[in-house]
């Protein structure tokens, strides 16, 4: 069950990181999503995913 929750959280993180029109907006939304899912380390990971995500 825990693996399912972590997989869903990861999918949410990637989809939230793609929100926004600019690199700054994507980094901010990815950082917030990561913070909610995995704390400070997740915030850094989410921001990183947000920066490298292209539309």
One digit per residue, the tens of pLDDT, for the chain of length 55 reads: 788 887 787 777 666 666 788 888 888 888 887 787 778 888 888 888 888 877 6
Q: The domain containing residue 29 runs over which residues?
A: 2-52
Name every residue whose Cβ is closer than 8 Å to that of residue 11 and which is 6 or more positions away in sequence. none
Cα–Cα dist 6/26, whole Å: 21
Cα–Cα dist 40/25, whole Å: 18
The pLDDT value given to residue 29: 83
The pLDDT value given to residue 13: 67
Q: How many domains does the chain have?
A: 1
């Amino acid at each position: 069950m825990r693996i399912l929750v972590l997989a869903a959280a990861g999918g949410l993180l990637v989809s939230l990181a793609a929100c926004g029109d600019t690199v700054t907006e994507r980094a901010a939304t990815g950082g917030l999503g990561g913070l909610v899912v995995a704390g400070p380390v997740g915030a850094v990971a989410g921001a990183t995913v947000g920066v490298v995500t292209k539309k």
